Amino acid sequence: MQDRSSKDTPHALRGEGNRSKNRGQGPPDINQVAFNVVQQATGEAPSATPSEKNPAAVTLGRLGGLKGGKARAEQLSPAKRKAIAKKAAKARWNR
């Protein structure tokens, strides 16, 4: 019998290709689908309205995200930055 190690199996067959693409999404709930069909058939508007985001909160969150990497890099010592870079390069080349 053949050895079925994952090393010989292509990525597509192991399901590693697009892991994050469908995270948290499964088949739609049959009750929700039926509800939407009835609403469309009767011409009723959907009950859930999309909520508006607070522009001030969006701006503050964006500012924190923009400065995060630079601020972290400035706090690290050159030796620690080099160790992190080596680890990242090794992870990329081990794929």
Q: How many domains does the chain have?
A: 1
Does residue 92 register a pLDDT over 90?
A: yes
Domain range holding 77?
61-95
Is 90 inside any structural domain? yes
Distance separating alpha carbons of residues 67 and 81, to the nearest angstrom: 17
Is 11 inside any structural domain? no
Is 52 inside any structural domain? no
Is 88 inside any structural domain? yes
Residues 12-33 have pLDDT tens digits of 455 555 455 555 677 788 998 8
- Amino acid identity at 37: V
Are 89 and 81 spatial neighbours (Cβ–Cβ below 8 Å)?
no
Residues 42-67 have pLDDT tens digits of 888 665 655 688 888 888 888 777 78
Instruction: Tell me if the pTM is above 0.75.
Output: no
Distance separating alpha carbons of residues 33 and 56, to the nearest angstrom: 36
